[in-house]
């Protein structure tokens, strides 16, 4: 299934350098709606929703389950823009979209038990091709998967391909993180998914991986046992070494880590979703060397600000140019200059 979306401007940026003095785009969703939201920032600390807290793309226009979760954004070196999202609506029964809580039996297939992911691609940031990647139909042996969640993308300089990596489980077994390489059209996986790394406890499910390359090492943050942990490797697809340290600063459950770079001061920010508090909020930590981290607190409890939205879920942040930020603001009539 493919179609063109011309009613929304979405900017999927490259990582701008400090000379570019960029702006920042945060992509997130909300549990109550299962739609897509954008927020802009001038400094990477204070974010303003571009549509005053309303969605910019409705999930029911994209997903087989009529709702999306876990958005992620990438700009490839050739200037093409990509987005990957989970095709899942956890409140479809409540909202009258589905006659059952899940598509399949929850005892057999577990919480959520979706089949696929949503993929989008654009050359001009306005017109988007769209496809639903049915992971369960991609390769033999995947027919009975219990879920496919939280996709992220990484451009592999060695293969010149986009690697997709996501959480998947078989039946109701614990989740693991798998990876595959995408085809040129960004509509299907060329290689059968393989386990990206193993967690020491085989009975623990681990999800929400996020990879950042820094000083020729790959730093992989992920969620396990309601906390954020990390592994490090010299290779993108193998050799990840376990670290016991917890990298969030919370006393409650959190997940969905994402790392983004701030242009000024050579700082990297780790943001994660704190789902163990009500209302939902994000936590932030900052580092310049991936060794020492400084706590920045939560939205609206310190240096980090969300000016016109609350209860965001599963963040993804990328630097964008001032011109791109201005175009987004103009599209949504946001009174914000860059």
Q: Nearest CA to 152 among 172, 168, 173, 140?
A: 168
Residue ranges of domains in the chain, CATH in brackets: 18-331 (2.115.10.20)
pLDDT at 222 over 50: yes
Asked, as a colleague might, if the bond just before 279 is cis with ω within 30 of 0, I would say yes
Per the model's pLDDT, the better-predicted residue between 242 and 321 turns out to be: 242
Q: What is the mean pLDDT of residues 271-289?
A: 97
pLDDT digits (tens, 9 = 90+) for 148-164: 999 999 999 999 999 99
Residue 21: the pLDDT is 66
Question: Roughly how many angstroms between the first and final C-alpha of the chain, as a whole number?
Answer: 37
Task: Quickly count helices (H) and strands (E) in the chain.
Answer: 2, 21
pLDDT at 17 over 80: no
Residues in the chain: 338
pLDDT digits (tens, 9 = 90+) for 61-114: 999 999 999 999 988 888 788 999 999 999 999 999 999 999 999 999 999 999
pLDDT digits (tens, 9 = 90+) for 193-214: 999 999 999 999 999 999 999 9
Contacts 24+ apart (CB under 8 A), 104-112: 107/172, 108/171, 108/172, 109/146, 109/147, 109/171, 109/172, 110/146, 110/147, 110/169, 110/171, 110/172, 111/147, 112/88, 112/147, 112/149
Instruction: To the nearest 10°, report the CA torsion of 305, 327, 132, 119.
Output: -70
Residue 20: the pLDDT is 56
The per-residue pLDDT of the chain, averaged, comes to: 92
Q: Nearest CA to 73 among 16, 1, 154?
A: 154
The pTM score is: 0.93
């Amino acid at each position: 299934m493919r179609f063109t979306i011309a009613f929304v401007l979405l900017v999927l940026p490259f990582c701008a350098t400090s000379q570019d003095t960029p702006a920042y785009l945060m992509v997130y969703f909300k549990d109550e709606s299962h739609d897509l939201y954008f927020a802009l920032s001038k400094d990477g600390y204070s974010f303003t929703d571009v549509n005053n807290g309303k969605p910019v793309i409705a999930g029911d226009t994209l997903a087989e389950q009529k709702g999306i979760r876990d958005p992620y954004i990438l700009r490839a070196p050739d200037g093409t823009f990509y987005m990957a999202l989970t095709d899942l609506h956890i409140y479809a029964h409540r909202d009258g979209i589905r006659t059952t809580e899940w598509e399949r039996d929850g005892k057999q297939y577990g919480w959520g038990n979706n089949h696929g992911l949503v993929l989008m691609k654009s050359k001009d940031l306005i017109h988007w091709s769209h496809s639903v990647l049915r992971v369960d139909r991609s390769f033999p042996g995947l027919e009975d998967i219990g879920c496919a969640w939280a996709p992220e993308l990484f451009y592999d300089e060695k293969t010149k391909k986009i690697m997709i990596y996501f959480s998947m489980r078989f039946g109701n077994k614990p989740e693991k993180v798998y990876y595959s390489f995408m085809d040129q059209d960004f509509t299907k996986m060329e290689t059968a998914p393989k386990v990206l790394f193993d967690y020491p406890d085989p009975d623990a499910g681990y999800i929400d991986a996020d990879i950042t390359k820094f000083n020729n090492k790959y730093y992989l943050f992920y969620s396990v046992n309601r906390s954020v942990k990390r592994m490090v490797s010299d290779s993108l697809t193998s050799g990840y070494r376990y670290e016991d340290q917890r990298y969030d600063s919370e006393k409650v459950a959190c997940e969905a880590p994402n790392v983004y770079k701030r242009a000024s001061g050579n700082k990297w920010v780790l943001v994660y979703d704190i789902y163990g508090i009500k209302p939902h909020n994000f936590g932030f930590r900052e580092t310049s060397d991936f060794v020492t981290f400084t706590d920045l607190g939560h939205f609206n409890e310190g240096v980090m600000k969300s000016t016109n939205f609350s209860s965001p879920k599963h963040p993804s942040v990328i630097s964008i140019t001032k011109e791109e930020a201005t175009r987004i603001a103009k599209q949504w009539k946001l009174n914000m200059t860059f």
